[in-house]
Amino acid sequence: MEKVNKIIKRIEEFAPLTTMQAWDNSGWQINLGIEDTKKILVALDVTPSTVDEAIDKKCDLILSHHPVFFTSIKSIHSPYIIKAIQNNIQIYSAHTNLDIAQGGVSEYLAEKCGFKDLDTAFEFIKYKQFRKEENFSKLISTLKTIFSLPSVRVVNSKRKTYRSIAFCSGSGAEYIQDLEKIGIDVFITGDLKHHQALNANKMTIIDLGHFHSEKIVVEIFENLLKNEDVEVFAAVEKPAWELI
């Protein structure tokens, strides 16, 4: 058993709430004033299935990346949120503050792909430049293996080699033109739309999808809590869509 405020303090020391974006709602989503926790479910999203899994595993706290609430609310009607409250499950989210933290989501994504000692650009972007050409097809194979993907969406896929690479977990298409200006060869992100893809000039963009580029957040939570006196479970999650 561990004190809830100790768990939250550990997260906020790593990713201070003061660093989240103005539009974001990181922090407590449901705070019932319960002081102790025995079992924690860590997840990318809080969904009906996430809440059901927390109940099945007898978890009393859910830590998620994406907040439950983004706008002001006057009343709660969502059955799964009511269900969480009825089962004394508290919910806390660390979103953009966790994205930009040192060792946060974009940096962890890059390191998971084998790239370390990265620089930061435009707050959310982690990038690396190389002294020699790197093999592009090897990068694609690595991504498929790491994320268990049969294929990946690529813009400007004819590239053979690259000398710089950038990462932005989640949605990073707004940075395409800025990254091209500083000479980035390959950009790995998610949620790339048609017209955003058309904005790419010479830069190659690899769209992992929002889910796969951020699901790794559960590993960050697990690492943060590995020395705490609680059981931590990674939620069973999958993308919202399926390929048939």
Q: What is the CATH number of domain 105-207?
A: 3.40.1390.30
CA distance 151 to 144: 7
CA distance 175 to 190: 12
pLDDT digits (tens, 9 = 90+) for 136-182: 999 999 999 999 999 999 999 999 999 999 999 999 999 999 999 99
* The domains spanning 2-96+215-234 and 105-207 adopt the same CATH topology: yes
Q: What's 2-96+215-234's CATH class?
A: alpha beta
Q: Where are the domains of the chain?
A: 2-96+215-234, 105-207
Q: What is the value of pTM for the model shown?
A: 0.93
pLDDT digits (tens, 9 = 90+) for 24-53: 999 999 999 999 999 999 999 999 999 999
Confidence of residue 199 (pLDDT cuts 50, 70, 90): confident
Phi and psi dihedrals of 213, rounded to 5?
-80, -15
Supply the pLDDT for residue 30. 96
CA distance 22 to 144: 35
pLDDT digits (tens, 9 = 90+) for 64-108: 999 999 887 878 889 999 999 999 999 999 999 999 999 999 999
Query: How large is the average pLDDT for residues 217-224?
Result: 97
Residue 193 class from Cβ within 10 Å (0-12 exposed, 13-18 middle, 19+ buried)? exposed
Q: Which of 237, 179, 169, 232 is nearest to 204 (CA)?
A: 179
CA distance 216 to 70: 22
For 200, the 3-state DSSP assignment is coil
Supply the pLDDT for residue 243. 76
Query: How large is the average pLDDT for residues 107-122?
Result: 94
